[in-house]
């Protein structure tokens, strides 16, 4: 048995401060209602893209066990893609012409660019898993565009 110095054996019990009572909340004011967006289709489009990015980030964090650095990079890559898709949607609306082939090609390219940006921060095991997810279409991150009435549609 190791002898314990007398000072340690007889150390006083620390005195903890009295807990501070929490103030009572009598009423909580609700924030004022937000003004409705002037163009609901655009507001919904942005939210839908953000929801896809958030869902996809969560999926990749779970499936790939991302580090914080990787998660930040994934979020940035998806936000960049989201902004570019929204810009492309604005260009289509301004032109008044929707080309299905061009849309598929350009949004596919934007998605591929984001996949490459994501893969650039993954280790080799994570990259193999991620490539498999992309190849099997497990990400479910396609881009939709609501065609307004009166828009010219080309193949």
Q: What is the pLDDT of residue 139?
A: 85
Question: Which has more pLDDT, 118 or 23?
Answer: 118
Q: What is the pLDDT of residue 118?
A: 95
Q: What is the pLDDT of residue 155?
A: 80
20 three-state secondary structure = coil
Residue 80 CB partners (closer than 8 Å, separation 6+): 114, 117
Give yes or no for residue 42 having a pLDDT over 90: no
Mind listing the pLDDT tens digit for each residue in 99-122? 999 999 999 999 999 999 999 999
Q: Among 22-36, 53-67, 99-113, name the one with the lowest average pLDDT.
A: 22-36
Q: What is the pLDDT of residue 38?
A: 43
Q: What is the pLDDT of residue 53?
A: 80
User: Which phi and psi (to 5°) does residue 133 adopt?
Assistant: -65, -40
CA angle 26, 29, 35 (to 5 degrees): 170
CA 94 to each of CA 88, 98, 108: distance values in angstroms, whole numbers, following the listed order? 10, 10, 21
CA 37 to each of CA 41, 79, 84, 103, 144: distance values in angstroms, whole numbers, following the listed order? 9, 21, 21, 26, 20
Average pLDDT over the chain, rounded to an integer = 78
Mind listing the pLDDT tens digit for each residue in 144-154? 888 888 889 98
Q: For the chain, report the end-to-end CA distance as a whole number of angstroms.
A: 87
């Amino acid at each position: 048995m190791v002898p314990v110095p007398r000072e340690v054996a007889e150390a006083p019990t620390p005195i903890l401060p009295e807990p501070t009572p929490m103030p009572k909340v009598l009423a909580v004011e609700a924030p004022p209602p937000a003004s409705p967006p002037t163009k609901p289709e655009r507001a919904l489009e942005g939210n839908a893209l953000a929801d896809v990015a958030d869902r996809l980030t969560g999926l990749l964090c779970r499936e790939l066990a991302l580090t914080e650095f990787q998660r930040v990079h994934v979020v940035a890559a998806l936000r960049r893609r989201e902004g570019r898709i929204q810009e492309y949607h604005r260009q289509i609306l301004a032109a008044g012409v929707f080309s299905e082939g061009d849309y598929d090609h350009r949004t596919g390219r934007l998605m591929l660019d984001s996949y490459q940006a994501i893969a650039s921060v993954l280790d080799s095991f994570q990259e193999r898993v991620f490539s498999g997810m992309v190849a099997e279409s497990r990400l479910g991150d396609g881009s939709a565009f609501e065609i307004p009435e009166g828009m010219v549609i080309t193949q």
